[in-house]
Structure 1
């Protein structure tokens, strides 16, 4: 069985917090991407972050090249951490939104931990995912794989100057891109929890209009859609209103729309 300690990071433990936010990294990303956001959350919200194999404290583990397999593992270990005491809100950025969605489906099916809500950030709806746009990572040279991730701003640009570091992180990046390329979801694939969608006005990967398609994947009504200033990795700069709206979403799960 997968261990909670390897899959779940908690940078700022808050055992008395009333709410739990579970975050899922983007393709090529790791748990530490959320450290700064965890630091600024109010005392009533504790953040847990999923750590995929093949990075940081799990650097020498085999990366997983299936989003379904990642979701299976998360759904197995998360109830152990939460113990049924809280209903978490799941937040996934880019690829992480799909992993969070699939994990939510499994958690709802098992019934031990039922997500309060799902926040999909910078990600097209599962049925709107266009795998033909994903790199065939196993057939691409290192330079093109890095260009794909770094072009979105998701990997520190300095990594390109360090060959040894590239060698360490590339297997995880390739596995993530392969997982995205093989993922499929039908229109009728749904979760029962409410879905809120965060997008950026300068994101060339995900258009705000596409965000509404997440409504196909929840039985809880039309999703709330919110647009922030920035690009695909807008949350790195935490644009105005982002933290407040995220915390409101965690506390209520049903904030009003702000899509222009």
Structure 2
């Protein structure tokens, strides 16, 4: 799930050092968005969509590392942290619908999206919804360690999360589910050591895997904003060719940046990653093509 810090947030979740602001109006608060480092004077907004099995606090350090002109909002999916006792969403569409509803009237400015792994697909679907509704649509989608929607080979869910139509799949053993998620590096090792915590987080992990295994999109599905692809040379789950195919899903420009590392190549926020991410956010907002 990610995030092992101390402290109690006003929305019921945990923060690594400081409380998180929960975005929303007094009349309609939302638990879908968390802001660990509020920056009222920031010029840019970056909305982060976590990976499968991930939670908002995993991205606390990335939020802290951003320059003062970029404020990060992190999506919190149901079934984890401050939303632990909510029913996990079972589809990418349900997750995208929830985030879209939370974002459409609460964005202070036109945002950029950063979606890691499964988060790339959810960010893509939220962007499509915002564009269709004529709302404050993103000016950029950064698809990180995420195969393009129409060419995914579902390596992450190949262990049995899906089933043939008309046939109910046997529930996968807990250890197998955890091994696949934890093997990517985005879930705390402490989860495996705590049986009670394990039982609490497994429904959300299973829900994410089910959502991924059942997600389908036409090859012609597109967004109108540019797409910047971040992929690692050692990521066995996201081949470069599948990441590069994001260009077919935008009517604007697309570019690809290759990093050293594995599926969680940005762990520790290496300088090259931070520089390229922040440059992409700033330059796409101004209409400048990032080279």
Per the normalisation by structure 2, the TM-score is: 0.84
Q: Which residue of 2 aligns with 1:225?
A: 256
For residues 228-259 of structure 1, what are the alpha-carbon distances to aligned partners after superposition, in whole Å with 9 as ceiling and x for unaligned? 11110111222340001100011012311xxx
- Of the candidates 80, 94, 97, which is equivalent to residue 55 of structure 1? 80
Alignment partners' CA distance in 2, 1:55 and 1:133: 20
Mapped pair 1:136 → 2:160: yes
Mapped pair 1:5 → 2:15: no
- Of the candidates 4, 8, 31, which is equivalent to residue 56 of structure 2? 31
DSSP 3-state at the match of 1:241? helix
| TM-aligned CA distance change 1:3 to 1:200, over 3 Å | farther
DSSP 3-state at the match of 1:81? coil
Query: Is the Cα–Cα contact under 8 Å of residues 198 and 225 in structure 1 kept in the other structure?
Result: yes
Q: Which residue of 2 aligns with 1:89?
A: 112
| TM-aligned CA distance change 1:71 to 1:184, over 3 Å | same
Measure how far apart 1:211 and its partner are.
1.7
Alignment partners' CA distance in 2, 1:176 and 1:110: 26
Q: Which stretch has the larger CA shift, 51-60 or 232-241?
A: 232-241
Alignment partners' CA distance in 2, 1:207 and 1:86: 34
Alignment partners' CA distance in 2, 1:181 and 1:52: 17
Measure how far apart 1:3 and its partner are.
5.2
Q: Which residue of 2 aligns with 1:255?
A: 290
Alignment partners' CA distance in 1, 2:229 and 2:263: 13
Query: Is the Cα–Cα contact under 8 Å of residues 229 and 239 in structure 1 kept in the other structure?
Result: no
Q: Which stretch has the larger CA shift, 55-64 or 108-117?
A: 108-117
Q: Which residue of 1 aligns with 2:244?
A: 212
Per the normalisation by structure 1, the TM-score is: 0.93
Mapped pair 1:197 → 2:222: no
Query: Is the Cα–Cα contact under 8 Å of residues 249 and 255 in structure 1 kept in the other structure?
Result: yes
Q: Which residue of 2 aligns with 1:16?
A: 41
| Superposition RMSD in Å | 1.5
- Of the candidates 178, 184, 202, which is equivalent to residue 152 of structure 1? 184
Alignment partners' CA distance in 1, 2:123 and 2:29: 17
Alignment partners' CA distance in 2, 1:4 and 1:44: 25
Measure how far apart 1:124 and its partner are.
0.4
- Of the candidates 61, 70, 80, which is equivalent to residue 95 of structure 2? 70
Measure how far apart 1:158 and its partner are.
2.3
DSSP 3-state at the match of 1:139? coil
Mapped pair 1:105 → 2:128: yes
Measure how far apart 1:133 and its partner are.
5.6
Alignment partners' CA distance in 1, 2:57 and 2:220: 34
Alignment partners' CA distance in 2, 1:4 and 1:235: 31
Q: How many residues align?
A: 252
Alignment partners' CA distance in 2, 1:81 and 1:235: 28
- Structure ID, larger Rg: 2
Query: Is the Cα–Cα contact under 8 Å of residues 200 and 232 in structure 1 kept in the other structure?
Result: yes
Query: Is the Cα–Cα contact under 8 Å of residues 65 and 269 in structure 2 kept in the other structure?
Result: no
